A and B are shown apart, each in its own frame.
Chain A
């Protein structure tokens, strides 16, 4: 079964750090670009970050640039999001998602994880 499973969310104080993981299974992880999308409570979807299939190219939304780092370990079939200098506005459910077509960085997201909640509060 093709699936993505996020972990690493939790409660963190403003200014703190957290690392999210997204474990992939059921497909050739190294062939797909991967993305992070977040959703604040009661709000819509916000695009956060992306990484190419080989990890050579990355993208960040302006709202997280300089504070978040996306990476991947293709030998472990795992995607990461290192989050730093966290703010109240970063509080959200964070989803990892796979682009539908192999090798392409852009496209529709056909597989989503179940999400992991990040709470930023003192």
Chain B
């Protein structure tokens, strides 16, 4: 089973600044990686799939990059509504589609 490791566990950033979140796979997952955003009391929301394609309705300030084992989610200019927990998920070696442990993005 592929292990997904996200870093950092918590990231403190000021509104308007850039946030960079990382996700590493224990073996190559090609570009079969998704990013999700989860706010308290809500279901996860798909942000990025295929490592770099924004899902429907996702603002352009969210971007994904990487392939193989190293991936990055970048939020270019943080808005108040972006502070949440972010998860990566690989779906290359399926089953299962393993999730990372999450990165909590908090207001600095």
Residues of A within 8 A of B (CB): 35, 37, 44-47, 50, 59, 61, 95, 100, 105-110, 112-115
Contacts and interface: CB of A to CB of B under 8 A. Distances in A.
Please classify the interface of chain B as helix (H, G, I), strand (E, B), loop, or mixed, using the class held by over half of its residues: loop
Contact of B95 (A59, A95, A108, A114): A59
B46 A45 contact: no
Contacts of B71: none
Given A95-B43, A95-B44, 16 more contacts: A35-B97, A37-B99, A44-B101, A45-B89, A45-B99, A61-B96, A100-B55, A106-B94, A106-B95, A107-B49, A108-B34, A109-B34, A109-B46, A110-B49, A110-B56, A112-B45
**Interface-central residue, B42, B44, B98, B100, by most chain A CB under 10 Å:** B44
B96 A114 contact: no
A33 B57 CA distance: 23
Contacts, number: 62
A117 B56 CA distance: 28
